[in-house]
Structure 1
Amino acid sequence: MINNDLRIESYRARLDATGRVQIPEFLQDASAQRLRDCLQHEVPWEPAQRSDRPPLLPAEARALSPAQQDRARLMEALRRATTGFEFHFDRFKMIEARRDGLHPELLLHVVVDFLNSPDFIAFTHTLTGDTGIRMVSAMAVRYRPGHFLRLHDDKSHEEERAFAYVINLARNWEADWGGLLQFVDSRQNVVETFTPHWNSLSLFRVPQGHQVSQVAPWAGDHRYSITGWFRRT
């Protein structure tokens, strides 16, 4: 699945130096294409907002059409985002689906097994220099116009996250479409930005302040990805 021609030495050096790196042409082209097809046509997406604030609608919105309900959920998330951390995008929980045997026809089950195979875990050790990594979590994500992820640092009290990763599967993404992975310092300066280029791996050490800018109405594609953490526990 990983590009056989990938040479990771320079990427590891940059990761060591800055705590983040983006690797182009990460997957074999056929694998990237097949994953994109799966995300675009086969995944049963669900709306995702902050975990302790489920994406419920006001009672008066429940009689609306699906498109109107979708808009109402987005507007509710935007309202809550004015007071603190919030996010709104579409997701498919790959780990939970694999564990519970849901949608067994999906290619994403194979991806979960691959990401947690001995060979890929060994690859994470070589790429990051962290031999304590034991597992890889995974979630499929789709950002559509209006979707966003406010500033946070990925630190968790429930699991030990060593690195966050994003396998980008959006096509021909342009910077002014939004959906940019932005790294932010303690003075609220954006110190680096990763555009979600096709078949690239964005990888960064945790904790680290970052956000995904809101996707613009004129974006020419949905921002598809597989994302999660390289975890020690």
Structure 2
Amino acid sequence: MMKGALFLVTVALLALASSLASASDPSPLQDFCVTINNSNSAVFVNGKFCKDPTFVTANDFFFSGLNIPANTENKVGFNVTLVNVDKIPGLNTLGISLARLDFAPYGLDPPHTHPRANEILVVVEGTLYVGFVTSNPNKLFTKVLNKGDVFVFPVGLIHFQFNIGQTNAVAFAGLSSQNPGVITIANAVFGSNPPINPDVLVKAFQLDKNVVDYLQKQF
């Protein structure tokens, strides 16, 4: 009896491990499912309604504009142009998206995570200092990337990119989700709506309450 129970537990754990290892956007069960804002559509896949395939055109799989630099005149000197399922309807169910990252000199893509995607980044202009931090223990992996260099950021881990050059930098990133999401750590912690109770942040970051109040006002 004990052996039978142990076998069932082992099978259950193996099944769970297998499902976690393959966790990503669901695989498509058809050639494509181009999104449409029409609740009368008969098919609903990955949170989107699908257009009748007979009305699908090449434009449903097309986006133009990644050659245009984004405005980096902001506090961090960084901006991103994300091409996800909301920009290309044909991405629905395909499990991928793309982003252009523009950096002013010494611009920063602040520490953040993508809860639903791995990221692979290639530098096409400039020099970036990049890195990610593992879950406990919090080990930092960093690298300086030059033009043509590639770096990978595992799903869910906090990571960043910093332009250490005196000129603009540009990178492109592929993400393993049609809608990867982003949680920018500073914004989430100090700029949530409604705000996190300052006493929580004082204790978590071991800061003076006046510092916490100041930081919350910045966001």
* Greater RCO structure (CA 8 Å; 6+ sep): 1
Instruction: Tell me if both proteins adopt one fold, taking TM over 0.5 as the criterion.
Output: no
TM-score in terms of structure 1 length: 0.39
TM-score in terms of structure 2 length: 0.41
Structure with bigger gyration radius: 2
Larger helix proportion of the pair: 1
